[in-house]
Amino acid sequence: MILTVTLNTALDITYRVRSLRPHTSHRVTDVTERPGGKGVNVARVLAALGHEVTVTGFAGGATGRVVQRQLTTTQGVLDALVPVTGATRRTIAVVDEHTGDTTQLNEPGPTVTPAEWSAFQDAYEDLVPSASAVALCGSLPPGVPVGAYAGLVRTAKAAGVPVLLDTSGESLRRGVAARPDIVKPNADELAELTGSHEPLRATQDARRRGARSVVASLGDEGLLAVTPEGRWRATPPTRVHGNPTGAGDSAVAGLLSGLVEQLPWPDRLARAVALSAATVMAPVAGEFDRGAYEELVGRVTVTGEVSAA
């Protein structure tokens, strides 16, 4: 079982309009709703790849009930969300069908009380020993300590369970210092963490700060990985157009599934890049175009070098 943690779960709502224009009314051509938040998206992709996944984090209010109800229909995903009194947030993605661009609106999430945070930590400690790997993903809702992910990393490592961290800002800075097995920042998050806008230098710096391996997401240019086994660059065979929401989460699912399947790094990276591109091509966040994935994965270019033993 793979455990994904989404402290700031969401109900992802996607609106499609023919053309998005400021200061005007729009007729929506299509609406979809899915359980969301980064770790939930990761879980859905992992399940589609054949892995059993448990989702934990927080859920509350009417929106939280919708998220949990929809999770029960997702094959391979087990709901272990912890209740809170506040309402789970919504995220709104507006897709312009003419340009393919997406405008994202993210609510902050419920305020978590100290008692609710303590209850989550107890639940997490119970779940971790049964996990083959843990993914800690996304933003922190109000009330959760900024060092939360650092503590969750240490709990997983104490249990001997590999852990991947995908967050930003001060949560990332503190979490990296707890020495996760993998961190997956995007280019902006990496620059904020290290102060460097040169990808290789910044990725190496992030690794020196404590992470065992760093996989930087460079958007259309693919992934850059610096690991104890070597360093690699993985690039997609072509630029894809569509809704980028959830593409980074699919990359995390590719990395995590490759980790538990003990794939070599080049194969993990090829899977992650292909899943990310196939997610951009899908209409809804947290899902991927399987046909596109199967066609792309063998065409991802992975270059690099293995570290000397």
The one-letter amino acid at 217 = S
Q: Cβ(32)–Cβ(110) under 8 Å?
A: no
The Cα 212–Cα 288 span in angstroms is: 28
Q: Cβ(197)–Cβ(191) under 8 Å?
A: yes
Site of tokens 């209850």: 119
249 catalytic residue (yes or no):
yes
Alpha helix ranges (H) inside 209-308: 247-260, 265-280, 290-296
Give the end-to-end CA distance of the chain in Å, rounded to a whole number. 31
Q: Cβ(68)–Cβ(62) under 8 Å?
A: no
Q: Report strand pairing: 223-227 vs 213-217.
A: antiparallel
Q: Cβ(280)–Cβ(247) under 8 Å?
A: yes
Output DSSP code: residue 157.
H
Q: Cβ(144)–Cβ(57) under 8 Å?
A: no
* Count of positions (residues) in the chain: 309
The Cα 76–Cα 26 span in angstroms is: 37
Options 12, 79, 166, 249, the catalytic residue: 249
Q: Cβ(279)–Cβ(288) under 8 Å?
A: yes
The one-letter amino acid at 96 = D
Cα dist from 96 to 34, 101, 238, whole Å:
19, 5, 22
Going by C-alpha positions, the residue among 14, 26, 39, 168 that lies closest to residue 104 is: 14
Residues with a catalytic annotation lie at 249
